[in-house]
Chain A
Amino acid sequence: MAVETAAEPAPGGRARAARAEPGTLGRPGRAVTMYVLLAWTWVRAAAQYPVSMVLLGLATALVSGLDAVGIALLFAHTPRIAGFTAPEVLFLYGTSALAFALSDILLGTTELLGRHVRLGTLDAMLVRPVGLLVQIATEDFSPRRLGKLIPSALVLALALPRLDAHWTAGRVAMIPLMVASGLAIFAGIWVLTASVQFVLVDSHGATKSLTYGGAFLTQYPMSLFARDFVRGVTFVVPLAFINWQPALYVLGRADPLGLPGAARFASPAVAAVLCGLAAVAWRTGLRHYRSTGS
């Protein structure tokens, strides 16, 4: 029902859209307009069952808050884990979970690309006059996913005033900046891992270890993990730039890997490079897509 509604182009948009190569983002402004329009369509569809929507939102909040409960249970037994106190770990949890929840709301459904390839529904999407990424990202966009923001925002609000940090203007400004660049890094990872599914349709099970695994990993201080592992998530998959490097600056801590001070501020640049790579990968994947044929 809602799919058909979503398939209708915006009034007057047909001629312009038809000229655009299917699947490309098109002009950014138009992509954003289409995204909001399609997402709103799905929200209205979900709002037809208001009780179910609210219950699902609350349940989603509970599920994503379980990791914070897990951290609290660990700190019931010890004041410090790997040299970090409870407010410090919860600060890491809050920044990581907030960035991930935002990226998941915006782009999380791209992980279903492989299923669309397998079922053949991707072909139907490609003939519509809207970019493929916008269509997949807005699919089943439901307000229940906003529930994921509740525990992360709540924990961050509780942890920030309890941090034993020496607050300066730079450190305060770093917090929105690290959430924004964390969001961009996660967004890049969502699109990169989805692009892989153009080639390896069955890879979704494994790439979850980058998306959900990355979100889980960055909730904890990197000083917990083996050094070579931390090198891997710094230089190969730049998960350490989601919140760990900026958090070292906010908390005034030394980097266990001994990276230069500039690394603390490198997150926006890393995010930009990763998003660029993701855009290239997405376009390459789409160009090489061959329908399964039916």
Chain B
Amino acid sequence: MGVYPWVAWFAFRRYTAYPLGSGAEALTNTVFGFIRASVLIALWRARPGLGGYDTADAVTFCFLTQALIGPVQVFGGMELTERIRNGDVAIDLYRPTALQGWWLADDLGRAAGSLLLRGVLPLVAGALVFPFHWPGPAGAAAFTVAVTLGVLVSFGLRYLVTLCSFWLHDGRGMDAVALVLSLFFSGMTVPLVVFPGLLGTVARGLPWAAQIQVPADVYLGKHTGTGLLGALAFQAVWAMALLAAGHVLTGMARRKLVIHGG
């Protein structure tokens, strides 16, 4: 077995080491899900069928966003940012592995742990209290693929933001900008199907849509046949483009890097 699966496995172990802490986070995600679901129910009561969703679709969407906050790390951030700032990244670059590959493996392990500990509670609690949709076996399989691609896109975006620290030294400004874009264009604030006109068209074409909106639509069975393949291809193309950009930027960062101190 190569080194990357081990990196992913140990990241998984690390991020599942404190189940109580993760459970506490999942509880907060669930509470927010209840509040947001009540708001969406009121909107769909006023406008039934808005954006092609029925009330149960909207509620399910809301709890899916809460379940996916952890896995796709909507609030942004990567451990690597701090390592670039304090110079520990020199150790990462010294390893006979690719910087991007190492951190991608780490992030996949983290996402899997997070899905397990933070994804289940919001969905189950939402299903118990509100009208809710569960997918069939085929839908669940497609959803698994869509979430994996969503995590890849999320990593691609966060890796690019993180690498900016090589030039800016202080990552907080970029993190803040990335947070605004991520919260708004992923469908966290309001489902993208509610965005009116041109704003909606643009938002549905941006990479943030691939993080939450597309996996949720796949879960809800809004895409079938070639439509489903198109949705997954949309995610895959963004994932590849972002990872390729990350690869190029890694090379530039390597040439730029001056290690602070001895």
Q: Which residues of A contact B (CB under 8 A)?
A: 49, 52, 55-56, 59-60, 62-63, 66-67, 69-70, 73-74, 76-78, 80-82, 202-206, 208-209, 212-213, 216-217, 220, 224-226, 229
- What is the bound-complex CA distance between A77 and B196, given in angstroms? 9
Quick one: given A202-B24, A209-B31, are A76 and B196 in contact (CB under 8 Å)? yes
Give Cα A205 to B103, complex, Å.
25
Residues of A within 8 A of B41 (CB): 224
Task: Say whether chain A's binding surface is mostly helix, strand, loop, or mixed.
Answer: helix
Q: Provide the residues of chain B in CB contact with A206, threshold 8 Å.
A: 23-25, 27-28
Task: Please indicate the chain B residues that have their CB under 8 angstroms from the CB of A209 in the complex.
Answer: 27-28, 31-32
From A59, A81, A203, A217, name the one whose CB has the most chain B CB atoms within 10 angstroms: A59
Decide yes or no: A77 and B50 within 8 Å by CB, A55-B173, A209-B31, A213-B32 being known contacts: yes
Q: Which residues of A contact B42 (CB under 8 A)?
A: 81-82, 224
Check if B39 sits within 8 Å of A220, measured CB to CB: yes
Q: Could you say which of B80-88, B145-153, B178-186, B216-224 contacts chain A?
A: B178-186
7 contacts between A and B (CB under 8 A): A55-B173, A66-B189, A77-B196, A206-B28, A209-B32, A217-B35, A225-B38
Interface of B is mostly: helix
B47 touches A59 (CB 8 A): no
State whether B176 touches A63 (Cβ < 8 A). Answer: yes
Closest to A83 in B: B42
The answer on a CB contact under 8 Å between B35 and A216 is: yes
Shortest Cβ distance from residue A25 to the other chain B in the assembled complex, whole angstroms: 28
Known pairs A66-B184, A74-B190; list 4 more (Cβ under 8 Å): A56-B176, A202-B21, A216-B35, A224-B38
Q: How far is the CA of A7 from the CA of B183 in the complex (A)?
A: 38
| Mask of B27-47 contacts with A, CB within 8 angstroms, 1/0 | 110011011001101110011
Partner of B176, one of A59, A78, A82: A59
Interface residue? B229 (CB, 8 A): no
> A80 — which chain B residues lie within 8 A by C-beta?
46
| Number of chain B residues whose Cβ lies closer than 8 Å to a Cβ of chain A | 36
Q: How many angstroms from the CA of A43 to the CA of B183 in the assembled complex?
A: 28
The answer on a CB contact under 8 Å between A62 and B189 is: no
Judged by a CB distance under 8 angstroms, whether B22 is at the interface is yes
List residues of chain B with CB under 8 Å of any chain A CB: 18, 20-28, 31-32, 34-35, 38-39, 41-43, 46-47, 50, 170, 172-173, 176-177, 179-180, 183-184, 189-190, 194-196
Q: Which of A69, A78, A82 contacts B47 (CB under 8 A)?
A: A78
A91–B41 Cα distance when bound, in Å, is: 21
Report A-chain residues with C-beta under 8 Å of the C-beta of B27: 205-206, 209
| Set of chain A residues within 8 Å of B180, measured between Cβ atoms | 59, 62-63, 66
Which residues from B are CB-within-8-Å of A63? 176, 179-180, 183
Please give the distance in Å from B182's CB to the nearest CB on chain A.
10
Chain B residues contacting A70 (CB-CB under 8 Å) are: 189-190
Closest to B21 in A: A202
B22 to chain A: which residues have CB within 8 Å? 205
Interface contact A204-B46, CB-CB below 8 Å: no
Whether B31 lies near A224 (C-beta < 8 A) is no
Known: A66-B189, A77-B47. A205 touches B196 (CB 8 A): no
CB contacts (< 8 Å) of A208 on chain B: these are 25, 28
Q: Which residues of A contact B24 (CB under 8 A)?
A: 202-206
Closest to B179 in A: A63
| Known contacts A67-B189, A206-B28; A52 and B172 CB within 8 A of each other | yes
Contact flag A213-B31 (CB < 8 Å), given A55-B176, A66-B183, A202-B21: yes
In the complex, what distance in Å separates the CA atom of A73 from the CA atom of B26?
27
Q: How far is the CA of A70 from the CA of B39 in the complex (A)?
A: 11
A77 touches B194 (CB 8 A): yes
Alpha-carbon separation in the docked complex, A60 to B176 (Å) = 7
Closest to B25 in A: A205
Which residues of B have CB within 8 Å of A77?
A: 43, 46-47, 50, 194, 196
Do the beta carbons of B195 and A73 come within 8 Å of each other? yes
